[in-house]
């Protein structure tokens, strides 16, 4: 089996979503991710997450994120991990979170959904629909 086919077989899914940065927080957000905790990276990888990308649309403060995952991925269990919650607590000043759902969002055509029902620290997200893929 080729390396590409092995990678595709190992990955069970892909997740894409939008998060919302607070205006004026772009630099700090980038700095936080430039110095992401090694323990958080290990945690995400332990939950089967790979190829995690986040891109900023600077005019709208939207963060477009995507990652691949394998059979170990469990979003609710990950959300309850202390390291994940500590990261979200640190990022809370920079991003809209589920507890901020009353704050107006720049894009009005997207309906925000909760990333994790029971965790108010989780970033406010809108799931994206896949429309194109080229392996």
pTM, two decimals, is 0.75
Dump pLDDT digits (tens) for 54-105: 999 999 999 999 999 999 999 989 999 999 999 998 998 999 988 755 443 3
* Number of domains present in the structure of the chain: 1
- State the pLDDT confidence band at 118, using cuts at 50, 70 and 90: very low
Catalytic residue, candidates 14, 33, 53, 57: 33
Q: Is 33 in the active site?
A: yes
* Residue 99 belongs to domain with CATH number: 3.30.70.100
- Within a domain: residue 131? no
In the chain the first and final C-alpha atoms are separated, in Å, by 16
- Would you state the pLDDT for residue 111? 43
Dump pLDDT digits (tens) for 17-46: 999 999 999 999 999 999 999 999 999 999
- Within a domain: residue 39? yes
């Amino acid at each position: 089996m080729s390396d590409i086919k092995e990678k595709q077989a190992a990955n069970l899914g892909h997740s894409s979503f939008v998060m919302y940065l607070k205006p004026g927080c772009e630099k700090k957000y980038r700095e936080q991710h430039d110095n992401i905790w090694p323990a958080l990276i290990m945690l995400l990888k332990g939950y089967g997450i790979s190829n995690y990308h986040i891109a900023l649309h600077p005019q709208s403060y939207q963060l477009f994120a995507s990652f691949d995952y394998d059979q170990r991925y469990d979003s609710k269990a990950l959300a309850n991990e202390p390291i994940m919650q500590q990261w979200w607590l640190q990022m809370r000043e920079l991003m809209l979170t589920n507890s901020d759902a009353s704050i107006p969002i720049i894009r009005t055509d997207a309906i925000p959904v909760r990333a994790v029902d029971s965790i108010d620290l989780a970033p406010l997200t809108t799931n994206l629909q896949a429309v194109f893929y080229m392996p």
